[in-house]
Amino acid sequence: MGDIQLKTSGQLHDVLVIGSGAGGGMTAYTLAKAGIKVLMLEAGPFFDPAKDSRQLQWPYQSLRRGGNATRAMGDFDAAYGGWEIEGEPYTQKGNTKFDWFRAKMLGGRTNHWARISLRMGPKDFACRTSYGAGDDWPITYDEIKEYYDKVDRLIGVYGTNEGLENDPDGVFLPAPAPRLNELFVKKAATGLGIKVISGRGSVLTAPLPGNTDRAPCFYCGQCNRSCKVYADFSSSSCLVIPAMKTGNLTVVTNAMVREIITDNNGMATGASYISKDDMQEYVVNAKTVVLAAGTCESARILLNSKTAQHANGLSNNSNVVGKYLHDSTQTGGIVVLPQLMNRPRFNEDGVGSLHLYAPWWADKQKLDFPRGYHLEIFGGMMMPSYGGYFGFEGSLVPMLNGYLPDAAGKMKPGGGFGKALKEDYRRFYGTMAGFGCHGTDVAKETNYCEIDNTVVDKYGIPVLRFHYQWGEDEIRQAKHMHETTQTIIKAMNGIPLIAPASQENNWGLANPGKGIHEVGTVRMGNNEKLSAVNKWGQSHDCKNLFVTDGSVFTQQSEKNPTWTILALSMRTAEYIVDQKKKQNI
Amino acid sequence: MNRRESIKTIGLASITTALFDACKSTPATKTETSITDETGRQDFETVRDKKLQAEAFFNPHEIATITILADIIIPKDEKSGSASEAKVPDFIEFIVKDEPEHQLPMRGGLRWLDVKCLNRYQTEFKGCSPQQQLEIVNEIAFSATAKPEMQPGVSFFNKMRDLTAIGFFTSKMGIEDLGYKGNSPNQWKGVPPDVLKQYGLEGV
């Protein structure tokens, strides 16, 4: 017998769920609560925020003081993985570049995300009808509203009901008060006619009714480290671990899926995976398979699951799998507010999500691009760390001190050293404010990921190759973002910390992928020639295969996708329960 | 701008640094103490940290020069101690191994400074009088007014100053100096009313 063995389990599970992020977690939770026996495969290690979070550690408890040599978003950030993972490459087509962020761990990217939890609106689900761009979803807001409501109650989200047309209200916990710097931005934006409202975030600002496993927020502002008391939403803490407690969910970690296996009739029978623990090959069997490995990884698994019946890859008779990949457009502005020099000190950590934002405000204006974006507002006295204070105003103090009079009221050239410089670091501390603009990219068939058959990862699995270019509409949208942020900065008399953008750099538009909101590669639709799954997330070509991550989005909006992934995956899971009762699958 | 992502690059990477041939150095013995809590850390991270801590990049002469410069940049004052009292040289020794892009600019910059002092004062920077040290630092500490021939020193000093400030203000001493009050459980009720009044933000 050789060193590598193929191990096949005789056990037949009710449902196999591939992936443990927002979509996989919600699917497994809903099914397990309904009494269905579920097996979950997760490519990374087990992660429990209660034990594994680095919450409340000080920068000096990190040799790199929070620097990002080993974790893309800093040493304390919860994400295991990043833009590049050793031995798991991806390639690019032509001169395009897509940045692919992967968190390989229980709960996936939900452990470190900003918890910004926005519903898509009625016009977003009818994008083509409302805006003349992109495609309409096969479902309406009214059809998904009850699931958004249920997600709000199950997981908890703060916010304020505003009665806006395309930014639906929810079942909200109290919204946290803004920080000082954020109020300056609110005042300036409001003065320009931009309506600024409370953020909406999945953080427990009050006890969650009926839930004794999670404690309310204690306001350390460190949601990106994941929360030891489960006060914010991670799929690990709020869905997978509770589902395991029902006794109906078994989780296999470090299980990197190669492909979904189908029988001679083209039906899914399970999946094969490599265990990173013993490097052996395994096959598991299930009556129903749910794919939720993340937008790009799910496309990869489907495209790698080729058989005689599914010659173009699984669920890909339409030839759309991998196509219509789209991420949020993203730009931003960072500004120092001179009026806050020597500002009062107090604990201003707040929540680690959003205190204030401006929903898209300009639908009724005449614009040279379709759809829109929102403004996320932030600022305050950040924890001094490499990437914290010293990622924002701190590193720039020896330049900024040339723009403003010193403590004695005298102008001097920027730079310096000694006691005067030491005093400048104190004076500038906590003067930064900023905004992130996140907007809609209209999904395009020409932006895609596909299998690069010339390259395999260290497990021998063919990798993804990306082709993604922003369209003219997205670039014009970025110009509008730039003009908005520059106007707000001016209204605040702020010193901008980022060089003015121009046509040459697409008005500061970040690279595709950098928004980490990529969706659309396994799009849903009623027409099986134009979509991969139906409005329930069920494969058109393989009836016992479902997809429940962001890949099923027909068309994203400017809203961050997680809340919609949770609502859709809950809806699909309930549909699976129903179909099993009716013995249709 | 993605605020979830470390954007230290806007500060540090925007400062161009002249490159010089690295001079050969003999490794010094290192006595850094490990302060890392292993909670939630991946195996490869722990292994990497231990390996870096066991290595030495700067030689004793370089570390002594870094220590003098760090204390010129952040001296002791009535509010807090100096950079060396906050163990900034230890941080710089670690971070140049953790982020190797600093190695050549630091090593080359230190040598540029020594040679400049040797030509001008007939001794390396470390051996100069405090007045001489301040004199040359003054010529490389203000990028807008520095003479063209001092630009290599300006680039080096920009990096040295950044690493010193990061090391100092992320130490316990430096965090207390800045007056950061967070990182502890509390009830956030918003900006105190007197502060809102001070900035005319009541009712915003």
The whole-angstrom separation of Cα A464 and Cα A443 is: 19
- Chain A CB contacts of B186 under 8 Å are 218-219, 347, 349
Distance from CA of B26 to the nearest CA of A (A): 23
Contact B65, B133 (CB under 8 A): no
> Does A376 score more than 60 pLDDT?
yes
Strand pairing category for A197-198 and A356-358: antiparallel
Tell me the ipTM for this assembly: 0.95
- Residue B48: closest CA among chain A residues belongs to which residue? A70
The whole-angstrom separation of Cα A263 and Cα A268 is: 6
**pLDDT band for position A265 (cuts 50, 70, 90):** very high
CB contact under 8 A, B1 and A436: yes
The whole-angstrom separation of Cα A332 and Cα A322 is: 29
Domain boundaries, chain B: 9-198
- Chain A CB contacts of B2 under 8 Å are 330, 332, 436, 510, 514-516
Using the structure block, give the residue that is written with the tokens 């839930």.
Answer: A211
> Does B23 score more than 60 pLDDT?
no
**pLDDT, average across residues B181-191:** 97
The pLDDT of residue B51 is 97
**pLDDT, average across residues A101-125:** 98
The pLDDT of residue B4 is 39
The pLDDT of residue B9 is 34
- Chain B CB contacts of A67 under 8 Å are 6, 8, 95, 98-99
What DSSP string describes B49-106? HHHHHH---S-HHHHHHHHHHHHHHS---SSS--TTTTTHHHHHHHHHHHSGGGHHHH
Please state, for a pLDDT cut of 90, what percent of chain A lies above it.
94
- Chain B CB contacts of A383 under 8 Å are 175, 180, 182-183
- Chain A CB contacts of B190 under 8 Å are 176-178
**pLDDT band for position A41 (cuts 50, 70, 90):** very high
The tokens describing A84, both together, are 């590049």
Kindly report, residue by residue over A417-476, the tens digit of the pLDDT.
Answer: 999 999 999 999 999 999 999 999 999 999 999 999 999 999 999 999 999 999 999 999
The pLDDT of residue A223 is 98
> Does A296 score more than 60 pLDDT?
yes
> Does B27 score more than 70 pLDDT?
no
Kindly report, residue by residue over A524-574, the tens digit of the pLDDT.
Answer: 999 999 999 999 999 999 999 999 999 999 999 999 999 999 999 999 999
The tokens describing A516, both together, are 């980490």
CB contact under 8 A, B183 and A398: no
CB contact under 8 A, A391 and B73: no
Is the torsion defined by CA of A160, A162, A167, A170 positive or negative? positive
CB contact under 8 A, A220 and B183: yes
Contact map slice: A 210-229 vs B, CB within 8 A? 218-222, 224
Phi/psi at A467 (5° precision): -140, 110
**pLDDT, average across residues A252-262:** 98
HEC readout, A177-243? CCCHHHHHHHHHHHHCCCCCEECCECECCCCCCCCCCCCCCCCCCCHHHCCCCCCECCHHHHHHHHH
- Residue A378: closest CA among chain B residues belongs to which residue? B3
The pLDDT of residue B13 is 30
- Residue A181: closest CA among chain B residues belongs to which residue? B191
Contact A73, A224 (CB under 8 A): yes
Strand arrangement, sheet containing A448-456: A91-92, A462-467, A448-456
Q: How many CB atoms lie within 10 A of CB A502?
A: 11
The pLDDT of residue A499 is 76
Q: Helix, strand, or coil here: A26?
A: helix
Q: If you average pLDDT over every residue of chain B, what do you get?
A: 86
CB contact under 8 A, B185 and A220: yes
> Does A302 score more than 90 pLDDT?
yes
CB contact under 8 A, B191 and A177: yes
* The architecture CATH gives domain A1-52+74-156+233-328+441-470+518-585: 3-Layer(bba) Sandwich (3.50)
- For residue A438, give Cα distances in angstroms to A145, A280, A318: 23, 42, 30
> Does A396 score more than 50 pLDDT?
yes
* Residue of A147 and A4 predicted with greater confidence: A147
From the list B109, B142, B110, B139, the residue with the least C-alpha distance to B126 is: B110
**pLDDT, average across residues B85-105:** 98
